[in-house]
Structure 1
């Protein structure tokens, strides 16, 4: 025997609703894009881009420090 709707609803407690009014969406329409499944290749690509970006940032920071040290050395040089 298949359970009927009344059998399924028998264990559900009564709900206090919103008076029959439509509820406002909790997520805006622009943010409610359907999420596509993320493949292993997508994950690998994202991680590789992140690593390259971190290395690029570290290289830029080091270059800026070396440039500042060189300018300081050259400006105070001529002794």
Structure 2
């Protein structure tokens, strides 16, 4: 092999190595983006769940008060 053939092989090896590194970097970026989006969804879902829980508790308090009021009014009449 001449020196030019060695340079071509070296160029091909460097090109393949850069391609593999680029694909791994692209996968890393895509994974990081998916993770970040998932974390945003978890926070949003947690806030929605907390809001729904508060609403259910308030409805339980109001329902309990109405039941207590009806029981007491029934006893008075």
CA RMSD, 1 decimal: 1.7
Query: Aligned pairs, how many?
Result: 43
**52, 60, 68: which one pairs with 1:59?**
52
Does 1:44 pair with 2:37?
yes
SS state at 1:39 partner: helix
Query: Structure 1, residues 9-36: CA drift from partner, whole Å, max 9, x if none?
Result: xxxxxxxxxxxxxxxxxxxxxxxxxxxx
Which residue does the alignment assign to 2:61? 68
TM-score under structure 1 normalisation?
Answer: 0.50
Measure the CA separation in 1 of the matches of 2:32 and 2:67.
52
**4+ residue segments displaced more than 4 Å:** none
Computing the radius of gyration over CA atoms, which structure comes out larger, 1 or 2?
Answer: 2
More helix per residue: 1 or 2? Answer: 2
Structure 2 gaps of 5+ residues are 1-28
User: TM (normalized to structure 2)?
Assistant: 0.51
